[in-house]
């Protein structure tokens, strides 16, 4: 089993699928026996980055803090997963440079589709001018040009996107292959229940 730490960095517009996929991948990596932490933008803004707003400066500070913690985890052999919009390319580049093993995942989805999904009800408000500085509507999002993984979350299913990430990580030797085919569906369920009991997932 590998115990090489790495950072899996999701970037993409609100509602593009960062949290959904980060949670799926987190669970799967745990099931494969590695230590993993998920740093989700929404959660981080309630503690580590509490009080920060959405100016460029505050967004950059938030992302730098998440990147700093990811690096601490990575260098100790853990897997760090970041799921925050991270709209600015220069700060993403800066964070990448901190890391030895950095995998950027771009969850790509059109504004039309995001407005249709409107998972948090924010796009309609932003488009109506009720929210200022909303990424993708009236605040910039700089698409990554060198992301290791680009997911078309508009067309792909959640399962497809999750599998594409895991396959990439396996091929890079960053995560071990799934617990062998010798584990039955029942055993897998029991492992999942145990992880839940232990508050891991």
Tell me how far, at minimum, the Cβ of 40 lies from Mg ion, in Å. Answer: 6
Which uninterrupted H or E stretch holds 67? helix 56-75
Stretch in the footprint of Mg ion (CB under 5 A) among 18-26, 63-71, 121-129, 135-143:
18-26
Name which of Mg ion, ligand ATP, none residue 17 binds, using a CB cut-off of 5 to 8 Å depending on partner kind: ligand ATP
Q: Give the interface size with Mg ion as a residue count (CB under 5 A).
A: 2
CA end-to-end distance (rounded Å), the chain:
21
Tell me how far, at minimum, the Cβ of 135 lies from ligand ATP, in Å. Answer: 8
How many C-alpha atoms does 60 have within 13 Å on its Cβ side?
A: 10
Asked whether the beta carbons of 40 and 108 are under 8 A apart, the reply is no
Name which of ligand ATP, Mg ion, none residue 62 binds, using a CB cut-off of 5 to 8 Å depending on partner kind: none
* Distance from C-alpha of 3 to C-alpha of 173, rounded to nearest angstrom: 10
Q: Is 19 in the site for Mg ion (CB under 5 A)?
A: yes
CA 150 to chain centre: 12
Nearer to ligand ATP, 78 or 84 (CB): 84
Q: Which residues bind ligand ATP (CB under 6 A)?
A: 12, 14-21, 42, 83, 85, 107, 117, 119-120, 153, 156-158, 161
CA 51 to chain centre: 22
Active site residues: 86
SS3 28: helix
Contacting positions for Mg ion (CB under 5 A): 18-19
């Amino acid at each position: 089993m590998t115990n090489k730490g790495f950072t899996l960095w999701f970037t993409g517009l609100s509602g593009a699928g960062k949290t959904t996929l980060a949670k799926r991948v987190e669970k799967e990596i745990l099931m494969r026996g590695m230590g993993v932490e998920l740093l989700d933008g929404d959660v981080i803004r309630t503690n580590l980055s509490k009080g920060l707003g959405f100016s460029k400066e505050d967004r950059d500070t938030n992302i730098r803090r998440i990147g700093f913690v990811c690096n601490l985890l990575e260098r100790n052999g853990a897997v760090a997963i970041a799921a925050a919009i991270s709209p600015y390319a220069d700060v993403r580049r800066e964070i990448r440079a901190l890391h030895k093993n950095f995998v950027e995942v771009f969850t790509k989805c059109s504004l039309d589709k995001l407005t249709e999904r409107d998972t948090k009800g924010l796009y309609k408000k932003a488009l109506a001018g009720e929210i200022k500085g909303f990424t993708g509507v009236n605040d910039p999002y700089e698409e990554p040009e060198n992301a290791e993984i680009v997911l078309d979350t508009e067309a792909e299913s959640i399962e497809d996107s999750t599998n594409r990430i895991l396959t990439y990580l396996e091929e890079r030797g960053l995560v071990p292959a799934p617990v062998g085919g010798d584990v039955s569906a029942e055993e897998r369920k029991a492992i999942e229940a145990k992880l839940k009991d232990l508050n891991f997932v």
